[in-house]
A and B are shown apart, each in its own frame.
Chain A
Amino acid sequence: MKKTCIFQDTEKRGNTTDLLEVALRMYGQGQFESHAVLLEDSLDGLLGSFHHIIRVAQGIVNGFDPRQICDVLENLHRKNCFDSILIPATSLGQMIALRLAKRLRTGLVAGVTDIKRDKEQIVIIRPACSGKILEGFHHTGKGPVMMSIRPNAFAHTPVEPLQTVVSEYTKPVRSPSAVKRLHVKENQQTCEIQDSEILVSGGGGVKDSFPELYRLADALNGTVAASRKLVDQGIAPRSIQVGQSGKTVSPRLYMALGIHGSTQHMAGLRHVETIISINTAANAPICSLSDIVVQGDALKFIDMLMDKILIYRSEKYI
């Protein structure tokens, strides 16, 4: 029986169970024992999904200090000899994963998006070259298989509830924390682009009219996203960037305004039901992957579509 350790997704706790899908693809149903490590008390949504849940007792670690969290995971590995350690590729998760891999002297594949089996060997897959290609890795060396998993890359469907054993980790950590958080300001973005069913996304073609996208997004009850080009130019915040260096999204509708559709950008689209692209160049890469291509200026498109939506809404509510 293989043992896998899954560190909590500290940004979206509910996504923690998705990492079980990675273990399932590596070892098969019923062939592994799962150990979830949580930094918080609440077990909501996690009980019954894991064989073991290990809660780190309050005050043991500074929750934004990767060194201290590594101490906990290292100790747990020394005690349990995990075959694999899976960590969500969030900002904090990546710092933890890289440190822990170095500490355990094992290889790390970062930003994993798929797992395949080639005969008896596990092939760990991640995008490379800005998403232009996929690389398949074999784990070599003696340490546990370590991966950081790209958020939203895997979805786990539970088969039947497990009898979860809950325990508490209370051993003091060895690294004193030299990190203090002085202020925190939550991002203004009311809805995460990863949670939205409708995304109105802008690229280089709308750099002069990007704020107009919010009108359309509001009318569709959707969320605004952006390509890397707008983020690099400081027009859009990184928190709404779609792509290899941004977020992976799976909306029902992706409306791409002025987006060229580089492989870097397309790497962030996964299981999108419908793509509508609005572009002056009908041969832009994203157009060949779209259900509808509107050939023309994005701002004019927003104005004309908004007129129709407003008339429709006013008639509907008379």
Chain B
Amino acid sequence: MKIICVVKFVPDMDSMVCGAGNNTLTGKTVRIILNPDDVCALAFALKVKASDPDCFVEVVSMGPPSVRPHMEDLLRLGVDRGTLICDPMFDGSDSFVISEVMGRYIATRPFDCLLTGTHSWEGGIAHVPVQLAEILGLNQMMGIFGIAPHGFDSTRAVFDVEDEKRVATYEMAMPCVLSLTRESGYKLPYPKLTDMRRDVSDELVIITNKDLCFSDTQVGSAGSLTQVVKTYPKTYEEKDRHIVKNDEEGISFVFNFLKQKGFL
């Protein structure tokens, strides 16, 4: 079985601040991490590989050259091939363009299943997996919090999805795109001691625009179909608050307030 994991390295939100007005992210030491939902997708792929040594796992990511050591760390976990799509021409691309670029590469690769995360680093739905599915002509499902171990092979996947009102079990024919959530709880294995300093540079493939042949009007901000024109700081109206202690007097104040407002 051949699995491609589409992952993204992202800033750790807890270590950064957003600067309004100039669309920039600021932070003294912004830590780069693997997007938490993507961690689960890769962890599941490596779990499949652990039980089936013939399973081939490729990780595909798009990002700057600084992502390279992080990709190498994934190879040390047992990933068979790492592919970093990296070219200054792609800087400033929106998700529409990113999915075009990744789709052009992935279309050249053999796979039975694409595994990825549901949410992006900032909490919203990740756009690229859905749009990749459309480019590749595949079915896709997001919000997956569990995949049946015996319901996952090169012909089909059986998995559980939670949405607004229900938990449902689906079966989807392969090849397809499955987007996991962190609720799935799949954890990456620890690297073996012998692998921690292993030279994996040969296993990491760098793909540039020389390989993909996009014109400069198709990628970057020129190829993007939405344009951020302004950022606004999110402001909230401060209230004339009343601070009370957690004692008889304070609780009576809250109780009387609730009664007065008709909440009791």
Q: Which residues of A are at the interface with B, using a C-beta cutoff of 8 A?
A: 11, 64-67, 70, 89-92, 94-95, 98-99, 101-103, 105-111, 118, 123, 125, 127-141, 143, 178-187, 192, 198, 220, 228, 232, 234, 237-239, 243-245, 252-253, 263-264, 266-267, 274-276, 278, 282, 287-297, 300-301, 304-305, 308-309, 312
Q: How far is the CB of B19 from chain A (nearest CB, A)?
A: 8
- Contact between chains at B165 and A95 (CB < 8 Å): no
> What are 28 A-to-B residue pairs whose CB atoms are below 8 Å?
A92-B163, A99-B131, A109-B226, A111-B125, A128-B18, A128-B231, A129-B25, A130-B13, A130-B122, A131-B123, A132-B17, A133-B234, A135-B23, A137-B228, A140-B226, A183-B168, A185-B168, A187-B166, A192-B165, A198-B263, A237-B162, A252-B261, A264-B123, A295-B245, A300-B246, A301-B246, A305-B251, A309-B264
Query: Given contacts A98-B127, A101-B96, A134-B234, could you give 17 more A-B pairs where the C-beta distance is less than 8 Å?
Result: A11-B163, A107-B94, A141-B225, A178-B173, A178-B176, A179-B141, A182-B169, A185-B166, A239-B165, A253-B263, A267-B234, A274-B261, A294-B251, A296-B245, A305-B255, A308-B251, A308-B252
Tell me the number of A-to-B contacts counted with CB atoms below 8 Å. Answer: 248
Q: Which residues of B contact A263 (CB under 8 A)?
A: 234
- Contact between chains at B18 and A136 (CB < 8 Å): no
Interface centre among B94, B96, B176, B181 (most CB of A within 10 A): B96
- Contact between chains at B225 and A288 (CB < 8 Å): no
Q: Is B190 an interface residue (CB 8 A)?
A: no
Q: Is B209 an interface residue (CB 8 A)?
A: no
From known contacts A101-B96, A181-B170, infer whether A304 and B164 are also in contact, taking CB-CB under 8 Å. no
- Contact between chains at B228 and A140 (CB < 8 Å): no
Say which size band chain B's interface belongs to: 35 or more
Q: Is B117 an interface residue (CB 8 A)?
A: no
From known contacts A179-B170, A305-B255, infer whether A102 and B96 are also in contact, taking CB-CB under 8 Å. yes
Q: How far is the CA of A234 from the CA of B226 in the complex (A)?
A: 36
Which residue of chain B has the shortest Cβ distance to A313 in the bound complex? B264
One of B56-64, B79-87, B235-243 contacting the partner: B235-243
- Contact between chains at A287 and B241 (CB < 8 Å): yes
Interface SS of chain B: mixed
Contact of A186 among B119, B166, B234, B244 (CB under 8 A): B166
Q: How far is the CB of B213 from chain A (nearest CB, A)?
A: 19
Interface centre among B167, B182, B233, B246 (most CB of A within 10 A): B246
- Contact between chains at B239 and A290 (CB < 8 Å): yes
Which residue of chain B has the shortest Cβ distance to A247 in the bound complex? B164
Q: How far is the CB of A169 from chain B (nearest CB, A)?
A: 21
- Contact between chains at A291 and B264 (CB < 8 Å): no
From known contacts A129-B122, A292-B254, A293-B244, infer whether A123 and B230 are also in contact, taking CB-CB under 8 Å. yes
- Contact between chains at A65 and B139 (CB < 8 Å): yes
Which residue of chain A has the shortest Cβ distance to B225 in the bound complex? A107
Q: How far is the CA of A291 from the CA of B254 in the complex (A)?
A: 10
Q: How far is the CB of A254 from chain B (nearest CB, A)?
A: 11
Which residue of chain A has the shortest Cβ distance to B140 in the bound complex? A95
Q: How far is the CA of A305 from the CA of B167 in the complex (A)?
A: 35
Q: Which residues of B contact A304 (CB under 8 A)?
A: 246, 248, 251
- Contact between chains at A266 and B236 (CB < 8 Å): yes
Q: Is B53 an interface residue (CB 8 A)?
A: no
- Contact between chains at A90 and B244 (CB < 8 Å): no
